[in-house]
Chains A and B, each alone.
Chain A
Amino acid sequence: DGGITQSPKYLFRKEGQNVTLSCEQNLNHDAMYWYRQDPGQGLRLIYYSQIVNDFQKGDIAEGYSVSREKKESFPLTVTSAQKNPTAFYLCASSIREHQPQHFGDGTRLSIL
């Protein structure tokens, strides 16, 4: 079955620690996205990538970093510079820009 796999489902970060969230897709989609979802707020775009080895900042990129070395993979690193990392993180992909995005089941990040 084609889809998007995010791991882990739950993640805990200690102060000063960087953590990496995994996102893998086997849909052969060109575009991939990372969103953050907080209670009472819409999904906010962190980073997106339209092709391999290229990515752009979204609205809330500060404190986050990404890489896109393979078409299938778009990992997100939450760095120690992100002072409020507790949130539900969602990865999505689309066949190309302006097409429906398909989502993984998210990673919930909390601070220890």
Chain B
Amino acid sequence: EDQVTQSPEALRLQEGESSSLNCSYTVSGLRGLFWYRQDPGKGPEFLFTLYSAGEEKEKERLKATLTKKESFLHITAPKPEDSATYLCAVATGNQFYFGTGTSLTVIP
């Protein structure tokens, strides 16, 4: 069964304290892995697409990496405005499967 699991469920960081969020997946025929940011009461905002193992993408304080079984979203020196829920999704066949997200809180 296709499955996407994100960990941890929640993460509290001090401002400037770097960390990583994990997205592990078991799907047949990965067509792409996607990271999104979701603020309360809003729709998810697209961040990155990764298509093959070894690929990396960066945007400001965020860096996404992909292996054959998991993806990491690295957050370097986070700021309070990085507080949000981060969602991972995989495309396989004709569907997207979303994880339940990691709720990140960055404390000033």
Binding site for B on A (CB under 8 A): 4, 6, 33, 35, 40-45, 48, 56, 58, 90, 92, 97-106, 108
A-B contact count (CB 8 A): 55
- Residues of chain B lying within 8 A (CB to CB) of residue A40: 100
Whole-angstrom CA separation of A58 from B95 in the bound complex: 8
Contact assessment for A106 and B43 in the assembled complex, using a CB-CB cutoff below 8 Å: yes
Stretch of B13-21, B44-52, B69-77 lying at the A interface: B44-52
B43 to A, closest residue via Cβ: A103
| Structural contact, B43 and A90, CB atoms closer than 8 A | yes
Binding site for A on B (CB under 8 A): 4, 31-32, 34, 36, 41-46, 49, 87, 89, 91, 94-101
Task: Given A103-B43, A103-B45, A105-B43, check contact A98 B100 (CB 8 Å).
Answer: no
By beta carbon, the residue of chain A nearest B5 is A42
Check B43 against A45 for contact (C-beta < 8 Å): no
A100 and B46 contact, CB distance less than 8 A: yes
Given contacts A105-B43, A106-B43, contact A56 B96 (CB under 8 A): no
- B44 partner residues in chain A, CB cutoff 8 A: 43, 90, 103
B contacts with A: majority SS: strand
A102 CB to closest chain B CB, in angstroms? 6
Chain A residues whose CB sits within 8 angstroms of the CB of B98 once the complex forms: 35, 42-44
List, sorted by A's number, 13 A–B pairs whose CB atoms are closer than 8 Å.
A6-B43, A42-B87, A43-B89, A58-B95, A98-B31, A98-B91, A99-B49, A100-B34, A100-B46, A103-B36, A103-B43, A104-B43, A106-B42
Contact A45 B100 (CB under 8 A): no
Task: Given A43-B87, A90-B44, A106-B42, verify A101-B96 contact (CB < 8 Å).
Answer: yes
A56's contact among B32, B94, B100, by CB below 8 Å, is which?
B94
- A90 CA / B38 CA spacing, docked (Å): 12
Contacts A97-B94, A98-B31, A100-B49; is A42 near B43 (CB within 8 Å)? no
Interface hub of A90, A101, A106 (most chain B Cβ within 10 A) = A101
Task: Using CB atoms, name the residue of chain A closest to B31.
Answer: A98
